[in-house]
Amino acid sequence: MILGHERQIRYFDRVISHGRLGHAYLLHGPERVGKRAIASAIARSLLCSNFKKDSASIADAGDDCSVCRQIDAGVHQDVVMVSIDHPLVPPKEKETRSGISIDDIRELKRRFAYAPVQDAWRIAIIDEVATMSKDAEVAFLKLLEEPGARTLFLLIAESRDAVPATIVSRATPLLFALVPDRALTPYVRAHLPKENFDDILAMARGRAGLIVAWAQDSKRLAEDKKNAAFFSKSFAGGMVDMLALSEKAAESEAMRYDGRDAWIGYLRRRLAAATASERRDAAGHIARALDLAAVMEDTNVNPRLCLDVMFSEGMVPARATKKPW
């Protein structure tokens, strides 16, 4: 299911119908906005024999045939999916997996050494590409430089700047932004509890992937609503509540990023309600929070320290803040 991203869909419709599809694309933008959904739709449009490439849109690709079901399940022989949570080579016992390893890339290369069935496309969807180890990056560059005929790499990342420049330079970058509420509203009204309509849109903050996940899992929606209420209560409190939130969020990677996103959303709402004299400080708080979020994402900084600084700086004038490093 694809919500929004009309410009990106039109681009892929055009290059596919005209036979001008490149060999590598970097789909970058915020988490859970639909990048992976677009990548899967591209794979379905190229491999499903029922898809009319000269007249249909990738947004409509997928007719519940065996090929489309296999692609969506991640088991199609010509579509290789790689991510931290979906390794091609299982990690050793008790080994903590923090990124895409050289073993994953070697296995990808081995699989792509075989010709696809009936001259079909071979597609690699690599999520969290920015987490590649240095050895994996070097090995992957050789695949990008010599991809072979009818080979497509769809690389997914939250930040283009976090992806090694050597990889970015060999791919076509496409930015994915947060999806506006007007594009999410019809799906929310059709698939989610009507009494929670406004709360759901506020919680989603433009992340279409979350909307779809909530529609498929009511328990997850209930849990995320509980966390959102906790964040809101903490934001409305004083410094003690904010530091308690920082301590709790730092213990869980998922909650850490949910807290980060909730805080940035809170600052944006504060900016929208700010007076003319307050807007400079309010905008400065958002810019600073985004900088700190990038530091937390791309470095090994202590997450508790980073969250402490992020939350506390949003409670004082932006001009008074200084970088702690």
The CATH number covering residue 160 comes to: 3.40.50.300
Lowest mean pLDDT: which of 35-39, 65-69, 194-198? Answer: 194-198
| Residue ranges making up the domain that contains 313 | 217-320
- Tell me: the pLDDT tens digits for 231-241? 888 888 778 88
Q: 3-class SS at 154?
A: strand
Regarding whether 248 and 106 lie in a shared domain, the answer is no
Region of poorest pLDDT, from 132-136, 236-240, 281-285: 236-240
In this structure, are 24 and 167 located in the same domain?
Answer: yes
Angle at CA of residue 84, ends 97 and 305, nearest 5°: 70
Residues 159 and 221 reside in one and the same domain = no
CA-CA distances (angstroms) from residue 295 to 266, 288, 306?
20, 11, 8
The answer on pLDDT for 324 being more than 50 is no
Which tens digit of pLDDT belongs to each residue from 140-171?
A: 999 999 888 889 999 999 889 889 999 999 99
User: Residue 1 falls within a domain, yes or no?
Assistant: no
Do 164 and 264 lie in a common domain?
Answer: no
Average pLDDT, the chain: 86
Global confidence as pTM: 0.82
Token pair for 31: 């988490």
- Lowest model confidence (mean pLDDT) among 71-85, 128-142, 289-303: 289-303
Domain boundary at 120, 147, 175, which?
Answer: 175
Q: What is the pLDDT of residue 297?
A: 75
Single residue among 119, 152, 175 that ends a domain in this structure: 175
Could you tell me if residue 188 is inside a domain? Answer: no
Flag whether 194 is in a domain: no
222 shares a domain with 150: no
17 lies in the same domain as 98: yes
Residues 307 and 254 in one domain: yes
Residue 80 bridge partners (DSSP) = 124
The answer to whether position 49 is within a domain reads yes
